Every structure is written in structure tokens, then in C-alpha cells.
Amino acid sequence: MKMPEKIDLKKVEKQTYEFTFTDGLYDMAYGSLIFFIAIAPILREILYPSYIIFLILPSPLIIILGKKFITVPRIGIVKFNLNRTKSRNKIGLLIAILVPITVLLVVLTYLGIYNIKVGGYIVPLGAGLFTLILLSLIAYIMDYPHFYLYAVSIGLGIPLAALLKPIFGEPIHYILSFGISGTLILIYGIITLIKFIKKYPIPKEGVKYD
């Protein structure tokens, strides 16, 4: 008689957890953040000071509205154990802290605060390192490798923008340092979302999720 195979519950939960990222919304959210950072100098000239809204609102709105109107209607709400839930709460807190700080650091870099004689390029280097570490911490807690790419894109983009500004000027320095990576991540997220929508159509009426 064949013995039933043991089910690795932790492995199943990990696979289920990774499945929650297959809608591409997080990729779109961070891709849009990096993209709007890239065009921040242009937005500043047109919409100052309200251009800051474009750096703060799009990312969380993409995740919140996308999950509510696209993901949940298709696959329902996935519940995890207490430890996983606590980790997700920590991530939410870190992101809530990170976004305004990142925006502040980007604005400081854009305004050329790094040109002060005492600091030199310390401000953009420090800002980039801080963002790199914080986003890498989120990637580790979230257990989602793509976030390391986001960490590198933003963390290196800040000092790179400072170095390119004297060479190319505004707004080319931001477009080169953030625009390319942001656009690629955003496009990847959109393609992933389209595949997700095609693969998981909204169930017909009468089919409910627990």
C-alpha cells in the first residue's frame, strides 16, 4: 500500500504567498514611483508645489485600488498565519515611513542641497544608501526578490542624479538616473497584470470565495 505523501504546509504557504504578487501591482506601483521621480523636475515647473502629490499618491493607490477591483474579485482574499500577517503589517509601516522620506530626499537632491561646501555629495550618497538599506529590509521581510531591484534603482538613482546634473543638466539627469529603470519596471508590471487578468477572469455570479 502506497503511503500518502506528507504535505509541507510551510512550502504551500510560501507558494501561496508568492502567488499574491503575480498580479504585477507592486511592480506597477514602484515602477510608477520611480517614473514620477524621473519627471519630478518637469512636474515641478508645471505644478509646483502640488507636484509632490504625484510622488506620494500613485503607488499606494495602484496597490489599494488594484487589489480591491482587480485581484480580489478574481482570486479572493488570501489569509496567512499570524507571523506572516505581522510581517505584512511591519512592511506597511516601513512603506508608510519610507515614501515621505524618499520624496524628501529626492527633493533635497533635486534642489541641489548637495552643493553646500561642507557636505559636498554626502547628502545624495547618504540618501541613496539610506533608501537602499531600507528598501532592502522591506525586500527581506516581504520575501520578494523584485524589491531588491527597486532598492538598487532608487538607492543608486539618487547619487547618480547628483553626479549627472552638472553634465547633462535638468531634467535629463533625472530621466537618465530614474526614468529608464522606472519605465522598464512599470512596463513589466503592466504586462504581468494583463497576463494575470487573462489567466484569472472574474468568476461568474454564484461563485463565491471564502
Place of cell 478574481: 74
Q: Report which residue type is found at 203.
A: P
The predicted-structure confidence for 3-44, as pLDDT tens digits, reads as follows 455 555 566 556 666 677 789 998 998 899 889 888 888 888
User: For 46-74, what is each residue's pLDDT tens digit?
Assistant: 888 787 788 778 888 998 899 899 988 88
- Model confidence at 146, pLDDT cuts 50, 70, 90, reads confident
CA angle 113, 118, 121 (to 5 degrees): 50
Give CA–CA dist 133/130, Å, rounded. 5
CA-based nearest residue to 129, from 104, 92, 150, 158: 158
CB 131 within 8 A of CB 102: yes
Taking the CB of residue 101, how many other CB atoms lie within 10 A of it? 13
CA distance 100 to 192: 27
